[in-house]
Structure 1
């Protein structure tokens, strides 16, 4: 009788199937991140960038090339300002697609144009109106200070023991001009991501963005200092070509900071 084949009863169990990916869910309130979170955002942005260096470089170069063409062509200059936020929205969608494990494609540069055109245009108009109001109020305020309150400002500085030199007066004026611009940037930092990834209304996204940035102002300060220094070093040692590396990474920080502050799947959880 031929030997019967033996069957082992001790086979190793098959490896578990990978968990099904779920898109990050929006938190009801923004998370307060650690002070060093800004550094983690940069590192995570670099990790995302190096996964698809060619595509991210192509998307970034094409975006800036389109904006430059619109800027120099007569009658189309205003469109360069209109498309910036649309491109940022597309960039956020592309980043989310890569994190989902799908193939990143160059055409994602225009994805938000078809999915969230209306709310992003409303956001763009809000931004342009805010910029106009900011400049009007700033120039008006600076004029009032320089004409009627210059001496009062010097007296106030003298009263607290601060030298009333022109340098201090200039610093006071710069603070008045810069602070509103910082608040304006905060109000629009997360807005594109909240619109394209969570279908949030433009005005609501602006309010939520300002709330989140104010709650994490120290992390953003660290990010600004470290990111600025890294950008300068790269630009100097690459004779300006570091711009090609800096810009996609800085744009990806929009996404990595959004994931940390606004979702239940922060990228820095394993940092």
Structure 2
């Protein structure tokens, strides 16, 4: 007579090829981490409002850390305004700063205690691709300015050869407007390509060029919620800065940077925060 255990089919945790199943990575509490989607999610237009509100929840739950981040960012910007070399350096490492903000946001969202040592270790893993992304951003800015630089260079040469053109102000305004529009479109596309890229690199290990392409794709797929976020967010930001006499910039800077993480979670992961 066979026992109950003998009659049960054994349960195997192996794949048919003999390999153990690939489990999703989890945090220190065993909860699954956000996984990258194959294609960007088409978010609801109302989620653009969520991208304005959600960062304040993060700020409120970890006030001292975000206040310190805001103060450091403001001091660096203030020093950069008087020391051009520092300002240029600050712009170059802006992508790294966003990467740090994203790591802090991810740790807070997963209820992790992230000290400076652990923060540096996590940043160090993706430091090289983040630096490459920063250099690509600088190159992109130069490319964006090329149409205007060519036009202004042509105008300068023409003006130096024809003094009467200066007096009569016979400048090619149509070409100037066209060049300005081309530069503006290129600049907007560059910002779209950079918006999700730091999060995709630092949290999912994507290569810089692939991250930029994915960021552009995700942004274009969500133009409407992004427009809602940009328009309403700009109005709220200007009003907030005016009633705080500009001192609200300490809160505004980390708030803007935190939006990179919130919108990334909604557009590119299987755990959107705005759906909660």
Q: TM-score, normalised by structure 2?
A: 0.75
Where does residue 225 of structure 2 map in the other structure?
219
Alignment counterpart, residue 23 of structure 1, candidates 33, 40, 49:
33
Going from structure 1 to structure 2, the CA distance change for 1:168 and 1:45 (only over 3 Å counts) comes to farther
Structure 1: runs of 5 or more not aligned: 1-18, 149-165
Where does residue 260 of structure 2 map in the other structure?
254
Tell me, in whole angstroms, the C-alpha distance in 2 between the residues paired with 1:107 and 1:68: 27
Tell me, in whole angstroms, the C-alpha distance in 2 between the residues paired with 1:229 and 1:107: 38
Alignment counterpart, residue 187 of structure 1, candidates 190, 193, 209:
193
Tell me, in whole angstroms, the C-alpha distance in 2 between the residues paired with 1:69 and 1:116: 28
Tell me, in whole angstroms, the C-alpha distance in 1 between the residues paired with 2:174 and 2:238: 27
Going from structure 1 to structure 2, the CA distance change for 1:75 and 1:168 (only over 3 Å counts) comes to closer
**Secondary structure of residue in 1 paired with 2:35:** coil
Matches within 5 A, 1:101-250: 101-105=111-115, 113-140=123-150, 174-250=180-256
Tell me, in whole angstroms, the C-alpha distance in 2 between the residues paired with 1:82 and 1:170: 29
Deviation at 1:27, TM superposition (A): 0.3
Deviation at 1:171, TM superposition (A): 6.5
Going from structure 1 to structure 2, the CA distance change for 1:45 and 1:267 (only over 3 Å counts) comes to same
Going from structure 1 to structure 2, the CA distance change for 1:185 and 1:89 (only over 3 Å counts) comes to same
Deviation at 1:238, TM superposition (A): 0.9
Tell me, in whole angstroms, the C-alpha distance in 2 between the residues paired with 1:76 and 1:169: 35
Tell me, in whole angstroms, the C-alpha distance in 1 between the residues paired with 2:105 and 2:180: 36
Q: Is the 8 A contact 2:52 2:259 kept in 1?
A: yes
Q: Is the 8 A contact 2:74 2:250 kept in 1?
A: no
Going from structure 1 to structure 2, the CA distance change for 1:171 and 1:37 (only over 3 Å counts) comes to farther
Q: Is the 8 A contact 1:30 1:262 kept in 2?
A: yes
**Secondary structure of residue in 2 paired with 1:103:** coil
1:21-79 Cα deviation digits (max 9, x unpaired): 21100001110111122111111111111101111110222134345546655755542
Q: TM-score, normalised by structure 1?
A: 0.76
**Secondary structure of residue in 2 paired with 1:269:** coil
Q: Is the 8 A contact 1:191 1:206 kept in 2?
A: yes
1:51 aligns with 2:61: yes
Tell me, in whole angstroms, the C-alpha distance in 1 between the residues paired with 2:236 and 2:62: 21
- Count of residues in correspondence between the two structures: 235
Tell me, in whole angstroms, the C-alpha distance in 2 between the residues paired with 1:65 and 1:110: 21
Tell me, in whole angstroms, the C-alpha distance in 1 between the residues paired with 2:101 and 2:175: 41
Tell me, in whole angstroms, the C-alpha distance in 2 between the residues paired with 1:249 and 1:32: 23
